[in-house]
Structure formats: structure tokens, C-alpha cells
């Protein structure tokens, strides 16, 4: 870390809001931090009331945010030969079956998302040890394994957000870029929180979402003033 970066981070930390803020105020606070010269990605982290060790409590999926995320994702598609051209036209950087699997086995990993048709999974399963640890294995839970593979390519290439809980029971996702309008970031944040709240496991007691924070790639986090659904109903 450079001296300049260190000074900036220390100064930003001093100006970090001490109390949770409403979404719009939190986004405004992020934009007041001293920033590097690049357009930072804005991330959200939700700390959940769940036990990751319990399979039935795990959550995983994908979501197209209302304002997009400002990033085009590199998508590969595992599909039959007759669908290859349609997938490429939809935005996939590569598409195919056995040939694409072989290419990845040889080391090709320059992609962000992999999608597949259900009938291709028997072939793709060979890549479990390669794609699994990197979180790139196609899954029906995220919409990445579907008969409508061309539609999936379009959605993920446009920036569809994938999420899954980590070992601590937390969920992280991209909300967009710091250059987005404040209202767009707030809209994306509200949409993501609402979506996760609906995934509340039946066995969860009390509030499901315990804490929400947002942060830029190189800024301190700012806590969102969030009223858990269970409290809101009381």
C-alpha cells in the first residue's frame, strides 16, 4: 500500500459515520470519502441470522438489479452445437460442449460466469474440481443451469448478480459503481435486501437480516439503518 493510499484510508476512517444511516444518506457518505482515480465498485454485505452448517438454511441464487451493476460479465455457455451461435450472439465469450470442457481442462479460466443446459451437466461435471472451488460451477439455484440458456447468457452478461452465504452466514454482492446516481444505488440496495429477506429459512427465529453495510472498493464501510422485517411487523 502506498503512503498516499494509507493517508487517504486513515482520513476516510476518521470521517466514517459513527451511527447507521438511512440508505440515501449512506450512499451520500460513501461519495464524500476521498477516492482513487478509478470508478469504484460499490458492494453490500448482509450479516444474517442463520447457521451455515445447516444445509436447509443455506441460501444461493441470482438477481438482476433494477439499475444494473455497471459491468459486463464474461460468460461461457455449455450447450449443444446448434445453440452455440445463439449463445455467442447473446453475449457469451465462448460456447460449446466437449470442446469447451477440454479447453477449460487445459487452463482456460478467463470468465466470470458459466451457464449450461441441463443435458450438458453430465459433461460439465468433469470440471467440478476446477470450477467448484472458484464458485464457477453452473447451478440450477442461481439460474445458471436452464433449458433457456440463451436467455441466461443475456442476463448474466448484462450483470446479473450471483450470491451465496459464506461460512459465517453472510452474503455479499455488487450494487453498482460509485459513479451511479445515488437513487440508482439506493434502488439496487433496496431490491437486494428485499430479495434476501424473502429467502428467510422457515427455521430462523427472530430477525433474519441482522446488519447491512455498504462500501466502495477502497472506502470504509457505512452501516445502513435497517429495520428487520420481524421488528417491522411487531
Paired residues of 206 in beta bridges: none
Domain assignment of residue 12, yes or no? no
Compute the distance between CA of residue 165 and CA of residue 57 in angstroms, rounded to an integer: 10
Q: Give the per-residue pLDDT at 1.
A: 32
Q: How confident is the model at residue 187 (pLDDT cuts 50, 70, 90)?
A: very high
| Res. 229: pLDDT tops 70 | no
Q: How confident is the model at residue 94 (pLDDT cuts 50, 70, 90)?
A: very high
Q: Give the per-residue pLDDT at 230.
A: 57
User: Starting at the edge strand that comes first in sequence, how are the strands of the sheet with 170-177 ordered?
Assistant: 170-177, 41-48, 209-216, 222-223
Which has more pLDDT, 7 or 230?
7
The predicted model gives 159-184 an average pLDDT of 92
Domain holding 82, by residue range, is 75-157
40-55 pLDDT tens trace: 999 999 999 988 888 7
CATH of the domain at 21: 3.30.190.20
Domain boundary among 157, 172, 199: 157
Long-range contacts of 84-88 (CB under 8 A, 24+ apart): 86/150, 87/149, 87/150, 87/153
The predicted model gives 130-148 an average pLDDT of 93
Domain assignment of residue 115, yes or no? yes
The predicted model gives 88-116 an average pLDDT of 97
113 and 79 share one domain: yes
Domain boundary among 127, 157, 187: 157
102 and 30 share one domain: no
Q: Give the per-residue pLDDT at 202.
A: 83
Domain boundary among 131, 157, 183: 157
Q: Give the per-residue pLDDT at 212.
A: 97
What DSSP string runs through the chain? --HHHHHHHHHHHHTS-SS-B-HHHHHHHHHHS---SS-PEEEEEEEES--TTSGGG--EEEE--TT--S----EEEE--HHHHHHHHHHT-SEEESHHHHHHHHTT----SEEEE-GGGHHHHGGGHHHHGGGT-S--GGGT-B-S-HHHHHHHHHTTPEEEE--TTSEEEEEEEETTS-HHHHHHHHHHHHHHHHTT--TT--S-SEEEEEEEETTS--EEB----HHHHH-
193-215 pLDDT tens trace: 999 999 988 888 888 999 999 99
Q: Which residue has the cell 441466461?
A: 152
81 and 120 share one domain: yes
Domain assignment of residue 30, yes or no? yes
Whether 49 contacts 210, CB under 8 Å: yes
174 and 130 share one domain: no
The predicted model gives 4-28 an average pLDDT of 85
pTM assigned to the model: 0.77
Q: Give the per-residue pLDDT at 2.
A: 38
130 and 166 share one domain: no
Domain assignment of residue 8, yes or no? no
Interhelix angle 81-90/149-157, nearest 10 degrees: 30
Give percent of the chain with pLDDT exceeding 70: 95
Report strand pairing: 41-48 vs 170-177: antiparallel
| Res. 85: pLDDT tops 70 | yes
Residues with Cβ < 8 Å from 183, sequence gap 6 or more? Answer: 24
Amino acid at each position: 500500500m502506498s503512503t498516499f493510499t494509507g493517508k487517504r484510508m486513515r482520513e476516510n476512517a476518521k470521517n466514517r459515520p459513527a451511527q447507521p444511516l438511512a440508505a440515501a444518506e449512506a450512499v451520500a457518505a460513501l461519495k464524500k470519502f476521498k477516492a482513487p482515480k478509478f470508478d469504484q465498485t460499490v458492494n453490500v454485505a448482509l450479516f444474517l441470522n442463520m447457521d451455515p452448517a445447516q444445509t436447509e438454511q443455506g441460501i444461493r441464487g441470482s438477481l438482476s438489479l433494477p439499475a444494473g451493476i455497471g459491468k459486463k460479465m464474461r460468460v461461457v455457455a455449455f450447450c449443444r452445437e446448434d445453440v452455440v451461435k445463439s449463445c455467442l450472439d447473446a453475449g457469451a465469450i465462448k460456447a460449446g460442449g466437449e470442446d469447451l470442457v477440454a479447453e477449460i481442462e487445459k487452463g482456460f479460466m478467463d470468465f466470470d460466469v458459466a451457464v449450461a443446459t441441463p443435458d450438458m451437466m453430465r459433461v460439465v461435471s468433469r470440471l467440478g474440481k476446477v470450477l467448484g472451488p472458484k464458485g464457477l460451477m453452473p447451478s440450477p439455484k442461481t439460474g445458471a443451469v436452464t433449458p433457456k440458456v440463451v436467455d441466461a447468457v443475456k442476463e448474466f452478461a448484462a450483470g446479473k448478480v450471483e450470491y451465496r452465504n459464506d461460512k459465517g452466514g453472510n452474503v455479499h454482492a455488487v450494487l453498482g459503481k460509485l459513479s451511479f446516481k445515488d437513487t440508482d444505488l439506493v434502488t439496487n440496495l433496496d431490491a437486494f435486501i428485499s430479495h434476501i429477506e424473502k429467502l428467510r429459512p422457515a427455521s430462523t427465529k427472530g430477525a433474519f437480516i441482522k446488519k447491512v453495510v455498504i462500501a466502495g472498493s477502497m472506502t470504509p464501510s457505512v452501516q445502513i439503518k435497517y429495520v428487520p422485517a420481524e421488528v417491522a411487523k411487531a
